[in-house]
């Protein structure tokens, strides 16, 4: 397991009621069957909105998540490369907050 993947799992397992799952065949973490983050191409991908989404997308080499590779990015999901791993924990918290607000969890 790569250091990137280890950090992904460490952060996902630190969230209460979080469980491992799959999102488009990629490892992810969910709460009540709703995914809030996943791991793709040595990057972490977060479901975000508002300012958190804008800030994450503004990071160098960050992009909207396009799991199919067919230029159909997912609007709410931001792929953040490992070079910004110091922000991953905060982004996990923002993703869980958004998930909680959106789904009344």
Least confident of 36-45, 48-57, 64-73: 64-73
pTM for the structure as a whole: 0.94
Q: What is the mean pLDDT of the chain?
A: 95
41-60: average pLDDT: 97
- Domains, the chain, with CATH or none: 3-103 (3.30.1460)
- Checking if the pLDDT of 105 tops 90, the result is no
Q: How high is the pLDDT of residue 102?
A: 82
DSSP string, 35-98: EEEEEETTEEEEE--HHHHHHHHHSTT-EEE-TTSSS--EEEEEEEEGGGGGGHHHHHHHHHHH
């Amino acid at each position: 397991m790569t250091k990137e993947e280890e950090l992904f799992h460490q952060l996902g397992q630190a969230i209460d009621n979080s469980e491992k799952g799959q999102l488009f065949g990629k490892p992810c973490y969910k709460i009540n069957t709703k995914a809030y983050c996943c791991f793709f191409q040595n990057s972490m991908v977060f479901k975000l909105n508002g300012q958190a989404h804008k800030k994450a997308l503004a990071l160098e080499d960050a992009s909207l998540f396009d799991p199919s590779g067919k230029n159909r990015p997912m609007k709410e999901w931001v792929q953040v490369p490992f070079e910004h791993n110091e922000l991953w924990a905060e982004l996990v918290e923002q993703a869980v907050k958004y998930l909680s607000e959106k789904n009344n969890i």
